[in-house]
Chains A and B, each alone.
Chain A
Amino acid sequence: MRNTHPKSVKKEDVIRIIKEYSEKKGAIIILDEDVFLKDTDNWYSWDPKNKILNLNTEVIINEGYKKDLFEIIRNFFDSNVGFKDLSIRPTVKSYEEYYDQSPDKELLNFFKSNIPFDDWMALKMSLFLRFQDKKGKPIAYLKEDITSKYGTRGANIANLCTIDFFEDEFKPLFNQLEVPKFKEYYEHVVGERAKVLFVSSKHDLEALTDAFLKTLNKCKTHGIRSFKMYARASQNISVLKKFVALLDAKKDENFTQDILFEEFSVVKVLEDSEIPTVAFEVKLTKYIK
């Protein structure tokens, strides 16, 4: 149940109401929240359960209190209260929770001085994305932010992160290889996407064949002996399984491009119906070092 105020607005009421509710422990002030604006043409409402003070700035300003409103806003700011976009509130809260738990602190510390700084930042963002994904929270916008800031390389890091590649492949390899060798391998995977092929909604059979052959050729050129093909979500899984079935059939007429079937073998290495996800490993029988 919300308390609302009748339409006439007195200046002293504006100042008093805002001051009174802003001083309550845990109080939140929202300026012009959509739902509040649609529900009423009052200048404020107080939700005691959630401790939210909704303000309608248009009414306050139309009543002639723009200057007072600005003074109130600046006073809050001078008292160290910042202002945030309401739409990022869930993400801020989620990241605060994640940061408190720090489940990936060790991994981040491990890679901090071992990979380029921008990659490390992309990794940090990607680990949070993975955390959110495991909790069933929306992640498309996070992936978009990563790609927007760090391009295809960032997107690739996010994909690798999702399949625990940094823990399961890069970390052990860093401990096994000389640093220059590790860096070369790292660059192949992250920079050139040689080791992993992710099937996405943009892949139909023809696009997947194209991506497969490109990945195969990169591996052959760099002496990489295998790569994995991953698909998540039922549509992508369906496309990948269909593609692998065609590879297994080894019939030229099923493909518009030449495929040398004897150069590789394909084995399923993962199928998880819960996520859902499936992965196949492509082992090269011929490659150039």
Chain B
Amino acid sequence: MNNDLEIYFTKKSAPIILEAFGKSINGDGYIIDSESKELILTPENEEIHISKFGMLKKGSEIFVKNDLASIINHVEGNY
């Protein structure tokens, strides 16, 4: 496997990524587990609106927002 590989999704393909991992979006636009219907939380214990979905990282599954604080934590290896 190419360790340099980067994969990006867009607004259109974000739901595809979610569905591949058994997640979906509830009526209010927040990411939920498709089976349990529980809200998916970030490492900061925040709910994620689909418009704020920034990353899906390894470490079981870590859902991260697309805001600056999350980007800083990602780059600095805090997740």
Contact = CB atoms under 8 A, between A and B. Distances in A.
Contacts of B13: 31-32, 57
Given A22-B5, A87-B66, A30 B54 contact: no
A76 interface: yes
B55 to A, nearest CB: 5
A86 B10 contact: yes
Contacts of B55: 82-85, 88
A124 interface: yes
A74 B8 contact: no
Given A73-B17, A85-B53, A99-B76, A145 B69 contact: yes
Contacts, number: 133
A104 to B, nearest CB: 12
Nearest to A148: B67
Majority secondary structure of chain A interface residues (helix, strand, loop or mixed) = helix
A95 to B, nearest CB: 5
Contacts of A128: 68, 72
Given A30-B7, A88-B54, 10 more contacts: A27-B6, A29-B6, A31-B13, A32-B12, A57-B13, A80-B1, A85-B55, A95-B72, A142-B68, A149-B68
Interface of B: 1-10, 12-14, 16-17, 19-21, 53-58, 66-69, 71-72, 74-76
Interface of A: 22-34, 37, 57, 61, 69-70, 73-74, 76-77, 79-89, 91-92, 95-96, 99, 121, 124-125, 128, 142, 145-146, 148-149
